[in-house]
Amino acid sequence: MANFTVPNDKLKMHECPLAVIKCVDFRFRKTDQEFVERGLGFDDFDLYSWPGAAKDVLKNNGFKTDFVDKIVSVSIGLHKVKKLLLLWHWDCGGYGGSKAFPSADEEESIYLRDMRTVKEMLVRELPDDLEIIMAYSKSAPQGLEYKVVE
């Protein structure tokens, strides 16, 4: 096992501007981080990762309650987060992958619909001053393309 040391400056920080909820899918880990850092300009953020991103919030069950509690107590309360990013991606196994949809357009439409519904649900549960941002990534000829969604 290799030894690794993290610089102390990061360990002394206790606030960050953003929390991200994204899918656990390893294929997107590095590019998602690059998007958040270089595309959105956030070097530091809390990261919440589950299969299907926040898809389970739609079930309106214990997952949603636990997730909201963690955002409020840890990210907002302890880390002073001001923004929450909901980040979905194409070919999500939490939805059965691209093969579960009749077309790429239908797949994207379902993901965007669910993301907007999750945002609406969270807006009712989270503090009014928390800004919720949505973004989606999909395969494009030049690579993985990320876009902020309205």
Q: What is the pTM of this model?
A: 0.90
pLDDT tens, 61-74?
888 889 899 999 99
Chain centroid, CA 79 distance in Å: 17
pLDDT for the residue numbered 58:
87
The CATH architecture of the domain made up of 14-149 is 3-Layer(aba) Sandwich (3.40)
Residues 6+ apart with CB under 8 A from 9: none
pLDDT tens, 130-141?
999 999 999 999
Residue 105 confidence (pLDDT) above 70: yes
Q: Which amino acid is at 11?
A: L
The terminus-to-terminus CA distance of the chain in angstroms comes to: 45
